[in-house]
Amino acid sequence: MARSHEQPLNRTIRRQQLREIVPLADSTIYEMEQRGEFPRRFALTPRCVVWDLGEVQAWLAARRSKPILRAPKPDLKQRRARSIREPDQAAGAASSAG
């Protein structure tokens, strides 16, 4: 007997299928999962982890709809001035160190 409060069976994908859909490194996906920015994997067996295909597709759709914001450019006025070595001083410092 099927119960009305059970969720329908969702399709799951393994790591290789996930790599074909989401071209990110395993370490990047793992870090995003830890931060809550990517759907979490779950274990079917001790050696087999899978992702819910519907969650991955929803994540992709959300990423497509939101533009990626670029990092702001550095404020060059806050840059500290460094003294510039003369070319002959830099060569002399390197030869005396050796």
Residue 82 lies inside a defined structural domain of this protein: no
Residue 3 lies inside a defined structural domain of this protein: no
3-state secondary structure at position 42: strand
Position 35 scores a pLDDT of 95
- Residue-number span of the structural domain to which 41 is assigned: 9-67
User: Number of folded domains in the chain?
Assistant: 1
For residue 15, count other CB atoms closer than 10 A to its CB. 13
pLDDT digits (tens, 9 = 90+) for 10-67: 899 999 999 999 999 999 999 999 999 999 999 999 999 999 999 999 999 999 888 8
Residue 50 lies inside a defined structural domain of this protein: yes
Residue 92 lies inside a defined structural domain of this protein: no
pLDDT digits (tens, 9 = 90+) for 61-91: 999 888 878 888 888 777 777 666 666 655 5
